[in-house]
C-alpha cells in the first residue's frame, strides 16, 4: 500500500500575537519524500503538529487523499509521527512499543507485524528490551518502526536524526531513504539541516517566519534560489548589491560598486532597479592581481585576502572587495594558486552561474535576529 497525497489549504496558526504558520498552502504528492527545511522557530514543527492533529489550525484546512481531516483528532488520522525525542513509552518493551498502534486499532497478527517492522529496522534481537536500555540510534529506529508498522498514509518525521552523532546520522539518512523506497509511503521530514534535506528529499520546501520561501527539487533550489534567505540557508551565497543598467541578448548588466556584472535574464527574479547579484562560493575562482580573467567571465576586484581556512577537500578564502563587501571563495585544492592573508587577488566567475534577487533588505543569513526573535516567541507561545 502506498501513501496518499497531503494537501494544506491556507493554513494559519497563531499563538496569541505570534503567527507561527502564515496562510500556508501546499501539496505533497503521494509517495514522495518531502522535506520541510527551515531554522528553528520558522513554524515547521507547528506545521507538522497540525498535520498530525496535535495542534488545531487557527484557519485553513488539511486534506489527506482528498478527504478533509481538519476537524478530526490525532488518534483518528491515518498519520504517524517519529518524534524528535522519539517519545518511546518507557514502561513498555520494544515489541509493545511497536505494537501499540496495532493494538489500539485492534488489528490481527499484531506480534508478527510488529516483529516484521523490527526486521525492517534490523532490531528483532532487541524486542524484549526496555527503551532505556537502547542506544540513541536504536531508539530512533524503534520510533521509526513504531510509526511504520501502522502503514500510515503519511509519515511525519520531526528532526528524527537531530540527536544522533554525525556518523550515525549519515548512516540513518541512507537507511531512511532505503525504507521509504521500500514501503513507498509519503514521508514528510522536518529538519533544519540543509544537507540532510537535500540528500534525502525529492522535494524541499524552505520555510521562514511561517511561510514557504521556495519549494522544489534540491538541485533546482540550490542552483537558482529565489530569495536571499534561501540563497544563504541552502548552502551559502555571495550576495552583491547593485543596480540593473541594461539588458542585451538575454543578459542583464548590473552595476556593482562601479564594476559591470552580468546575470542571465532568465535567472533573475527582478530585471530592473536594485537587485542582489548572487554567486555560490565554489563557482568563484581566484586570480592573481595581474592575471587576465577567462574570456566571457565576470571579474571583480582587486580585493584583499582577509582569511584563509584549509578544510581538506577545499580551501575557503575570505576576500574584502572595496565597495562590494566580503566575498567567500571555495577553491578546490587542485592548482598551485594560493593566496595568503593580506595578499591582493581578483575574483572571477562565469555569468551563467550568477543569479539576481530582489533586495528586500532583510537579514539573509538564516541565523539573523529576526529568526531568533521568532524562535523565542514560539517557545513562549504555547
Partner 1 sequence: MTAALVVGHGTEVAGARRRSRTAWLLLAPGLLYLFVFFVAPVAVLLLTSLFERVPGGPVGATRPAFAVSNYVDAVVTYAPQFGRSFLYAFIATVLALAIGYPLAYVIGVRCRTRPLLQGVLLVLVIAPFFTSFILRTIAWKQILADDSVVVSVLKTVSLLPDDARLTATPVAVVAGLTYNFLPFMTLPVYASLERLDLRLVEAGGDLYATPISTFRHVTLPLTMPGIVSGSLLTFIPAAGDYVNSALLGNAGTSMVGNVIDSRFFRVVDYPTAAALSVILMAAVLLLVAWYVRRSGTEDLL
Partner 2 sequence: MKRLSFGRYLLPVYAALAFLYLLTPIAYTFAFSFNDAGRSNLVWRGFTFTNWQNPCGAPAVCESVVNSLQIGVLATVISTVLGTMIAIALVRYRFRLRAGANLLLFLPMATPEVVLGAALLAQFLNLRVNPGFATIVIAHVMFCISFVVVTVKARVASLDPRLEEAAADLYASPRAAFWRVTFPLLLPGIAAAALLAFSLSFDDFIITNFNSGNTDTFPKFVYVSATRGIPAQANVMGSAMFLIALIIVVTGQVLAARRRRAAAT
β-pairing, 238-248 with 274-279? antiparallel
Question: In the complex, what is the shortest distance from the CB of residue 301 to partner 2, in angstroms, rounded to a whole number?
Answer: 53
Stretch of 9-17, 138-146, 305-313, 354-362 lying at the interface with partner 1 (CB under 8 A): 9-17
* Binding of partner 1 by 382 (CB under 8 A): no
Alpha-carbon distance of 58 to 21, in angstroms, equals 9
Stretch of 56-64, 214-222, 237-245, 339-347 lying at the interface with partner 1 (CB under 8 A): 56-64
Backbone angles phi, psi at 94, to 5 degrees: -60, -45
Stretch of 58-66, 101-109, 250-258, 309-317 lying at the interface with partner 1 (CB under 8 A): 58-66
Select 74 or 362, whichever has its Cβ closest to partner 2: 74
- The C-alpha angle 75, 97, 40, rounded to 5 degrees, equals 65
> Which of partner 2, partner 1, none sits in contact with 57, Cβ below 5 to 8 A by type?
partner 1
- Tell which residue, 327, 333, 362, 360, has the closest CA to residue 345: 327
Alpha-carbon distance of 178 to 3, in angstroms, equals 16
* Binding of partner 2 by 151 (CB under 8 A): no
> Which of partner 1, partner 2, none sits in contact with 61, Cβ below 5 to 8 A by type?
partner 1
Alpha-carbon distance of 171 to 178, in angstroms, equals 11
Question: Counting Cβ atoms within 10 Å, is residue 345 exposed (0-12), middle (13-18) or buried (19+)?
Answer: buried
> Which of partner 1, partner 2, none sits in contact with 105, Cβ below 5 to 8 A by type?
partner 2
* Binding of partner 2 by 101 (CB under 8 A): yes
Q: Locate 251 and state its grid cell.
A: 543578459
Select 106 or 167, whichever has its Cβ closest to partner 2: 106
* Binding of partner 1 by 27 (CB under 8 A): no
Question: In the complex, what is the shortest distance from the CB of residue 150 to partner 2, in angstroms, rounded to a whole number?
Answer: 7
- Tell which residue, 285, 205, 269, 282, has the closest CA to residue 236: 282
Placement of cell 533588505 in the chain: 361
Residue 15's contacts (CB-CB under 8 Å, 6 or more residues apart) are 377, 378, 381, 382
* Binding of partner 2 by 100 (CB under 8 A): yes
Which residues sit at the interface with partner 2, rule CB under 8 A? 52-54, 73-76, 79-81, 83, 85, 87-91, 100-101, 104-105, 130, 133, 146-147, 150
In the complex, which residues of this chain contact partner 1 (CB under 8 A)?
A: 9-12, 56-61, 68, 70-71
Amino acid at each position: 500500500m502506498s501513501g496518499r497525497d497531503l494537501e494544506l489549504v491556507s493554513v494559519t496558526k497563531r499563538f496569541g500575537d505570534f503567527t507561527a504558520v502564515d496562510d500556508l498552502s501546499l501539496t505533497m504528492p503521494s509517495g514522495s519524500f518531502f522535506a520541510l527545511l527551515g531554522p528553528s522557530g520558522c513554524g515547521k514543527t507547528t506545521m507538522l503538529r497540525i498535520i498530525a492533529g496535535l495542534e488545531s489550525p487557527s484557519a485553513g484546512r488539511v486534506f489527506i487523499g482528498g478527504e478533509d481531516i481538519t476537524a478530526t483528532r490525532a488518534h483518528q488520522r491515518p498519520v504517524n509521527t517519529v518524534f524528535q525525542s522519539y517519545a518511546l513509552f518507557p514502561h513498555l518493551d520494544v515489541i509493545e512499543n511497536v505494537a501499540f498502534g496495532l493494538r489500539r486499532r485492534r488489528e490481527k497478527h499484531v506480534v508478527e507485524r510488529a516483529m516484521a517492522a523490527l526486521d525492517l529496522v534490523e532490531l528483532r534481537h532487541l524486542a524484549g528490551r526496555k527503551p532505556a536500555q537502547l542506544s540513541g540510534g536504536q531508539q530512533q529506529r524503534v520510533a521509526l518502526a513504531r510509526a511504520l508498522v501502522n502503514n500510515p498514509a503519511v509519515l511525519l518525521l520531526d528532526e528524527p536524526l537531530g540527536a544522533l552523532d554525525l556518523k550515525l546520522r549519515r548512516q540513518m539518512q541512507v537507511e531512511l531513504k532505503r525504507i521509504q523506497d521500500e514501503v513507498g509511503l509519503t514521508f514528510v521530514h522536518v529538519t533544519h539541516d540543509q544537507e540532510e534535506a537535500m540528500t534525502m528529499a525529492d522535494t524541499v520546501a524552505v520555510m521562514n517566519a511561517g511561510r514557504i520561501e521556495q519549494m522544489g527539487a534540491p538541485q533546482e533550489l540550490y542552483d537558482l534560489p529565489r530569495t536571499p534567505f534561501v540563497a544563504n540557508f541552502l548552502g551559502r551565497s555571495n550576495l552583491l548589491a547593485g543596480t540593473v543598467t541594461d539588458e542585451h541578448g538575454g543578459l542583464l548588466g548590473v552595476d556593482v560598486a562601479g564594476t559591470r556584472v552580468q546575470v542571465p535574464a532568465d535567472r533573475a527574479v527582478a530585471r530592473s532597479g536594485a537587485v542582489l547579484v548572487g554567486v555560490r562560493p565554489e563557482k568563484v575562482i581566484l586570480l592573481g592581481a595581474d592575471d587576465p580573467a577567462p574570456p566571457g567571465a565576470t571579474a571583480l576586484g582587486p580585493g584583499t585576502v582577509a582569511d584563509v581556512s584549509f578544510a581538506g577537500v577545499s580551501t575557503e578564502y575570505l576576500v574584502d572587495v572595496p565597495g562590494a563587501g566580503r566575498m567567500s571563495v571555495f577553491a578546490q585544492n587542485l592548482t598551485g594558486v594560493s593566496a595568503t592573508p593580506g595578499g591582493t587577488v581578483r575574483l572571477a566567475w562565469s555569468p551563467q552561474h550568477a543569479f539576481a534577487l530582489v533586495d528586500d533588505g532583510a537579514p539573509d543569513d538564516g541565523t539573523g535576529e529576526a529568526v531568533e526573535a521568532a524562535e523565542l516567541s514560539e517557545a513562549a507561545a504555547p
